[in-house]
Amino acid sequence: MRHWPPGQQLHQGKYLIEAILGSGGFGVTYRAQNRKEGKLVAIKTLNANVQGKPNFRDLQTKFVNEALSLARCSHPHVVQVCEVFPEMVGNIELWCMVMELIDGIDLASHLEDNGILSEEKALPIIQQVGSALSFVHQQGFTHLDVKPQNTMLRKRGFEAVLIDFGLARQVTAPGA
């Protein structure tokens, strides 16, 4: 499978793909409509390159485990995972992670468009990302790809939200 086209229905019609939001070395993220709730969400799954790898099953197991663990994390500065479900694509079962769709821009794009942040704007972002990382670490995870591209800034309130846990690693048992 290359990518789902706009109009593709997932999870027995609950979600309707609208567009690709982005892709990387591991996954692809779509903007989709939750037709039952009437709201927009982000859906992430493993990309076509990963689907073709000989160790796809192992990578997918890792993706599902991280998605389920992240779904248990509730923090204002960590993207919220709403649901994890499998979708049949041809003869393979492809797992999907449904997340809140953050209305905003990533920090890298904001810096590119607006230049260096003032201390007044930078300090709250640093504190919010630090709080998110501290919380995630307390849950037994280390985010291995913290960068401006993986920090979203909400339009309302200019709050930072840490995203893209595809490279997260479980370092201890949760709660240990």
Catalytic residues: 145
The SS3 of residue 66 is: helix
- Report the run of H or E that residue 138 belongs to, with start and end: helix 119-138
The SS3 of residue 7 is coil
Q: How many angstroms separate the CA atoms of 162 and 141, rounded?
A: 13
Phi then psi for residue 132, to 5 deg, are -65, -45
Paired tokens of 82: 């709403």
User: Encoding tokens for residue 84?
Assistant: 């994890």
Provide the 10 A C-beta neighbour count for residue 165.
25
Q: Which residues contact 124 (CB under 8 A, 6 or more apart)?
A: 158, 159, 160
Conformational region of residue 51, where left means phi above 0, alpha means psi within -120 to 50, and beta covers everything else: alpha
